[in-house]
Structure 1
Amino acid sequence: MTTLVLPIELEPGADVFEQLRHMTDDEFYYFCQDNTNLNFERDANGNIKSMGQTGAETGERSSELIAELVIWNRQTKLGFVYDSSTAFRLPNSAVRSPDAAWVPAERRNAFTPEQRKGFLPLGPDFLVKLVSETDSQKDTEAKMAEYIANGCRLGWLINPKTQSVMVYRTNGSVDVITDFSGSLSGEDVLPGFSLALSLLV
């Protein structure tokens, strides 16, 4: 059984989860640091959810995706790439961890070194969510809409099981792709970047 390390002193007899909902941003950050064996997200209302660990297949696909993104970013030197263990504090106060994300250098460098040690208070310009066996399609679609509403310019919701992709854009449009024989374009957000979907089969 896992015992949570809490950054706040709980009132005797009070509901634990209700008190956790009212943690400050700093308290939630240290709560996550003290419980690194678990992955947490927090919605805009303060509700905290443990995200669990991924299976081997999802980890393999995530690694392929990150590798392609890192190679492109090393060549262009346009920004910074983040993996699934990185959390972002969105403008609506939700704390989310996409499977892969990218932020332009000028946005990331606007923060102090001290700020960069914590959750960056922004929505990444680009992100990817890989649907795993335990994910709810409805919940992941809701998260993608939340990302777009909070500053994301391009998002890919990839479901390897159904071999489908939903491409979200800042203008609110959502394109659905049902063929993994082609590639996804980084468009004007990631100029010159493309991902061969066959890498995720």
Structure 2
Amino acid sequence: MGATLLEQAKADVAKDVGTTILLPSEVRLKVDADAFAALCAANRDMRLEREADGGLAVMSPASGRSGRRNMELGRQIANWNHTADLGAAFDSSTGFTFPDGSILAPDAAWTQRERWDRVPVEDQDRFPHIVPDFVAELRSPSDSIKQLQAKTAHYIAQGVRLGWLIDPTTQTVEIYRPGRDVEILTRPESLSGEEVLPGLVMDLKGVLFD
């Protein structure tokens, strides 16, 4: 089904004809990795992810407040990384191919330089087959907290060493680490990057609260 829809979408793009597909909530489209890459290339303004079983997930654009918060989150990580010079930082548009075949795009991610440099250049230009050392998810008002919790736990199960789930709605942060219970902080002023992002202290003003 996925390939057929993709072929139709390509034909419509070639004809410069816009189409809208309305899907009931119980219907899931499945695509393989190559079809997903082609779908993303043809729909660059859309935020798409691919689940482990090939299921296609379409995410809404961020609201103004969420976009501003996400920019501040990424800015602090990028500034720290520029100074520390320890690895590579990525924004929310970067999709990573995880060991189970899912292709997911955290709101922010970081990986050690040695690990990133081992990824072939041709793979770096796609959805790289690498598990980030760190990921962060920032909840928007329209996001399901249970889905974000499951997604962040999934990152850890796939090999991520540190995960943050930042929820401005409840002003809490959930910290995920391998082999440990989730730690929940209420209205913390800052977060430590711990041994994964050494020296990073995230100021949560403008990220968790205004």
Q: 1:198 aligns with which of 173, 193, 205?
A: 205
Superposed displacement of residue 108, structure 1: 1.0
Q: How far, CA to CA, are the matches of 1:145 and 1:46 in structure 2?
A: 19
Match of 1:53 among 20, 45, 61: 61
- Partners of 1:142 and 1:45 in 2: CA distance: 16
Aligned residues: 189
Shift of 1:8: 4.0
User: Which sections of structure 1, spanning at least 5 residues, go unmatched?
Assistant: 11-15
- Please give the residue correspondences for 1:31-110 in structure 2 after superposition, counting only pairs within 5 Å: 31-110=39-118
**1:120 and 1:165 mapped to 2: Cα distance?**
28
Conserved in 1, the CA contact under 8 Å of 2:32 and 2:54? Answer: no
Indicate whether 1:185 and 2:192 are aligned: yes
Q: 1:146 to 1:115 in 2, by over 3 A?
A: same
Is 2:192–2:201's contact at 8 Å kept on the other side of the alignment? Answer: yes
8 A contact 2:74–2:91 mirrored in 1:
yes
Q: 1:118-157 alignment to 2 at 5 Å?
A: 118-157=126-165
SS of the residue 1:198 aligns to: coil
SS in 2 for 1:80: strand
Residue 99 of structure 1, CA deviation: 0.5
8 A contact 1:122–1:151 mirrored in 2: no
For 2:192 and 2:103, locate their aligned partners in 1 and report how far apart those are by CA, in whole Å: 27
| SS, match of residue 175 in structure 2 | strand
Q: Deviations over 1:41-89 (max 9, x none)?
A: 1111111111020001011101111111011101111111100111111
Cα-Cα RMSD: 1.9
CA distance in 2, matches of 1:38, 1:117: 18
Q: Distance in 2 between matches of 1:101 and 1:54?
A: 17
- The separation in 2 between residues aligned to 1:184 and 1:60, in whole angstroms, is 19
Q: Give the SS at the match of 1:156.
A: strand
Unmatched runs of 5 consecutive residues or more in structure 2: 10-22
Match of 1:111 in 2: 119
Does the C-alpha gap of structure 1 residues 46 and 24 become closer, same or farther in structure 2, counting only changes over 3 Å? closer
Give the conservation status (yes or no) of the 8 Å contact 1:72–1:193.
yes
Deviations 1:140-183 (A, max 9, x none): 00001100000110000000111000000122321000123x21
In 1: Cα distance, 2:129 partner to 2:120 partner? 12
Q: Are 2:119 and 2:129, in contact at CA under 8 Å, matched by a contact in 1? A: no
Report the AA paired with residue 82 of structure 2.
R
**TM-score of the two chains, using structure 2 as the length reference:** 0.85
TM-score of the superposed pair, with normalisation by structure 1: 0.88
Q: Residues of 2 paired with 1:199 and 1:56: CA distance?
A: 13
